[in-house]
């Protein structure tokens, strides 16, 4: 089975500091694999282990994305392409660039995350399904494959629904689908030596949005903090109104 997994690299958002204006300082932040991309990689590798086949990782990023591809290799991805030219979160552009590369090979299943951890856009699965003319199922918590059919269990609030679809198809995964593995040192070392295919993406970014501001929301909270066993009377008094 030929499996593609789409991997996004983001900055490490936990490391973002704010300047005096409450704006994020984005310089020199460490990069890491998007949280749900990690679940996508784990899901892809598990499918390979269960049904045999090959996993191809694809990142639309920059020169610096090879570190994330190596992480994907260490987790069990066999082959990887880094497409250069990523500038900003723009699902239409990302979709077009990724579709271009995906069209050139035959995949039985294309796996990605449901919503990426920085932008949360969640639009990519739908965009790619239109670009490639494939079925799409999102927010999967389980994938079973029989011949050319996938049974995908999708999580929703009140029920888990199992849907049958023909392959090839696009499946996005939820965080609950698995616990991404921690690669062993040997695998990390081997991954460092593997070849990564690096190509240019030629993305067609348009100047169609202007950022007016990008700031941490200012907290209007009172922030009255009690220590040393104090505060219970005060808080009880405030809560009395509900009774």
Ligand X SMILES: Cc1cc2nc3c(=O)[nH]c(=O)nc-3n(C[C@H](O)[C@H](O)[C@H](O)COP(=O)(O)OP(=O)(O)OC[C@H]3O[C@@H](n4cnc5c(N)ncnc54)[C@H](O)[C@@H]3O)c2cc1C
Ligand Y SMILES: Nc1ncnc2c1ncn2[C@@H]1O[C@H](COP(=O)(O)O)[C@@H](O)[C@H]1O
Q: Name which of ligand Y, another protein, ligand X, none residue 242 binds, using a CB cut-off of 5 to 8 Å depending on partner kind.
A: another protein
Task: Kindly state the tokens that stand for 80.
Answer: 């990887």
If binding is defined by CB under 8 A, does position 157 make contact with another protein?
Answer: yes
CA dihedral sign of residues 78, 58, 141, 119? positive
If binding is defined by CB under 6 A, does position 35 make contact with ligand X?
Answer: yes
Task: Kindly state the tokens that stand for 52.
Answer: 């045999």
**Of the candidate residues 25, 50, 64, 234, the single one contacting another protein (CB under 8 A):** 234
**Of the candidate residues 154, 167, 173, 177, the single one contacting another protein (CB under 8 A):** 154
How does strand 31-33 pair with strand 9-11?
antiparallel
154 in Cβ contact with 161 (< 8 Å) = yes
Positions in 118-137 near another protein (CB under 8 A): 118-131, 135-137
Binding site residues, ligand Y, CB under 6 A: 6-8, 34, 36-37, 40, 58-61, 86, 91, 94, 98, 112-113, 115-116, 119-124
Distance CA 115, CA 10 (A): 13
Closest among 56, 53, 66, 130 to 96, alpha carbons compared = 130
Can you say whether residue 52 is alpha, beta or left, with left for phi > 0 and alpha for psi between -120 and 50 degrees?
Answer: left
Q: Which stretch binds another protein (CB under 8 A): 9-17, 40-48, 49-57, 59-67?
A: 9-17
Q: In angstroms, give the least distance from the CB of 7 to ligand Y.
A: 5
When the beta carbons of 6 and 169 are compared against ligand Y, the nearer one is 6
Distance CA 74, CA 51 (A): 20
If binding is defined by CB under 6 A, does position 117 make contact with ligand X?
Answer: yes
When the beta carbons of 7 and 137 are compared against ligand Y, the nearer one is 7
Q: Which residue is nearest to ligand Y (CB)?
A: 113
Q: Name which of ligand X, another protein, ligand Y, none residue 86 binds, using a CB cut-off of 5 to 8 Å depending on partner kind.
A: ligand Y
Q: In angstroms, give the least distance from the CB of 95 to ligand Y.
A: 8
Q: In angstroms, give the least distance from the CB of 168 to another protein.
A: 14
| Farthest CA pair distance, the chain | 68
Q: In angstroms, give the least distance from the CB of 46 to another protein.
A: 19
> Can you tell me whether residue 150 is helix, strand or coil?
strand
CA dihedral sign of residues 21, 27, 28, 33? positive
If binding is defined by CB under 6 A, does position 45 make contact with ligand X?
Answer: no
Task: Kindly state the tokens that stand for 4.
Answer: 């593609």
């Amino acid at each position: 089975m030929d499996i593609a997994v789409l991997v996004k690299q983001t900055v490490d958002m936990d490391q973002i500091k704010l300047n005096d204006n409450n704006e994020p300082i984005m310089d020199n932040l460490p990069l890491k694999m998007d949280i749900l991309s990690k679940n996508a990689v784990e899901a892809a590798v598990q499918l390979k282990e269960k049904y045999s086949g090959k996993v191809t990782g694809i990142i639309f990023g920059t020169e610096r994305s090879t570190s994330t591809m190596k992480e994907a290799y260490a987790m069990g991805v066999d082959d990887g392409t880094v497409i250069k030219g990523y500038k900003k979160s723009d699902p239409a552009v990302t979709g077009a660039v990724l579709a271009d590369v995906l069209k050139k090979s035959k995949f039985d299943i294309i796996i990605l995350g449901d919503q990426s951890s920085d932008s949360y856009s969640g639009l990519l699965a739908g965009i790619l399904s239109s670009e490639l003319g494939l079925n799409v199922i999102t927010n999967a918590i389980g994938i079973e494959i029989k011949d050319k059919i996938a049974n995908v269990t999708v999580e929703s609030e009140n029920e888990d629904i199992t849907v049958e679809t023909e392959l090839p198809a696009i499946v996005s995964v939820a965080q609950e689908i698995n616990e991404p593995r921690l690669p062993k040192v040997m695998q990390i070392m081997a991954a460092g030596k593997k070849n990564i295919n690096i190509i240019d993406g030629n993305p067609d970014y348009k100047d169609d949005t202007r950022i007016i501001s990008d700031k941490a929301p200012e907290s209007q909270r009172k922030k009255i903090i009690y220590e040393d066993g104090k505060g219970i009377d005060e808080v009880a008094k405030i809560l009395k109104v509900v009774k």
